């Protein structure tokens, strides 16, 4: 099979500029995929048209600004950061379109939160004001490639399978986190303080992490292996789909 096409979502800043970190591209390319950015300007119908045109195989929802609390029926609290309703609407529509096509989905940091909200869950808008000052450690001051806490994965989970370990030292760059878990999702990774660090829906090939594995790849075979393992799953799903289409023809 040809290299799988991976759709990447991107951020919109306060000056309406589209931006994203290059580590996402590097991680996909190194793992054997072809990254394609879908701009956050498209209507839902345009998303469908583009997905069909480029024959995308999977979606990666990337990190970025806070999620507007109105998307999960809450009012803003003290400590809420910059939000972009434009990006929220775009990513929620993009996720819906990809799920209707039974495409694998990977969420990273904000991406995990988007998946949880899209499926009916909610978030702590600001961990410090809603959970306590001790959770400030989830916004590390150390360089991004440095691990500052350990995530424990459930034995036999997608998380353990993708990372090939049950205990993983990771970085941490978030002040929002999962509050109510969406019914269809399973918590497969947490830190010692109970913060959700991995969610999954194995039957739909949906997986998400709260940390940033793409920023820890340098000299870290576990993080590099994670992306390769995920791309392999994407290829397997795409191959099954295409063989099914061929049989129907």
Share of the chain above pLDDT 90, in %: 78
Q: What is the pLDDT of residue 11?
A: 86
Q: What pTM did the predictor assign?
A: 0.95
Is 232 marked active-site?
A: no
Average pLDDT over residues 76-81: 93
Q: Which of 42-51, 68-77, 185-194 has the lowest mean pLDDT?
A: 42-51
* Contact between residue 18 and residue 65 where contact means Cβ atoms under 8 Å apart: no
144: CATH = 3.40.50.880
Selected catalytic residue, list 23, 160, 197, 214: 214
Structural domain harbouring 175:
5-248
Q: 222: Cβ–Cβ under 8 A, 6 or more apart, which residues?
A: 163, 164, 165, 168
Which tokens is 2 given?
């040809």
Write the pLDDT tens digit of every residue in 157-179: 999 999 999 999 999 999 999 99
Share of the chain above pLDDT 70, in %: 97
Which tokens is 22 given?
């290059």
Selected catalytic residue, list 149, 200, 212, 224: 212
Is 214 marked active-site?
A: yes
* Contact between residue 163 and residue 220 where contact means Cβ atoms under 8 Å apart: no
Please count the structural domains in the chain.
1
Selected catalytic residue, list 10, 109, 177, 224: 109
């Amino acid at each position: 099979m040809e290299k799988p096409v991976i759709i990447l979502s991107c951020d919109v800043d306060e000056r309406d500029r589209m931006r994203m970190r290059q580590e996402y591209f590097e991680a996909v390319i190194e793992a054997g995929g072809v990254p394609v950015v879908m701009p956050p300007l498209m209507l839902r119908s345009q998303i469908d048209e583009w997905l069909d045109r480029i024959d995308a195989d999977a979606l990666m929802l990337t990190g970025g600004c806070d999620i507007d609390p109105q998307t999960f029926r809450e009012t803003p609290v003290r400590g809420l950061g910059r939000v972009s309703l434009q990006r929220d609407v775009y990513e929620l529509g993009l996720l819906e379109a990809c799920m209707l096509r039974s495409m694998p989905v990977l969420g990273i940091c904000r991406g995990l939160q988007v998946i949880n909200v899209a499926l009916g869950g909610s978030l702590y808008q600001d961990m410090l004001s809603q959970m306590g000052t001790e959770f400030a450690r989830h916004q590390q001051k150390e360089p991004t490639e440095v691990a500052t806490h350990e995530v424990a994965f459930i034995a036999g989970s997608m998380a353990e399978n993708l990372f090939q370990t049950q205990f993983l030292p990771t970085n941490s760059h978030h002040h929002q986190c999962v509050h109510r878990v969406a019914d269809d999702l399973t918590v497969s990774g947490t830190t010692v303080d109970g913060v959700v660090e991995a969610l999954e829906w194995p039957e739909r090939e949906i997986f998400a992490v709260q940390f940033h594995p793409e920023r820890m790849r340098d000299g870290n075979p576990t993080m590099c292996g994670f992306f390769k393992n995920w791309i392999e799953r994407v290829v397997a799903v795409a191959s099954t789909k295409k063989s099914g289409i061929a049989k129907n023809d």
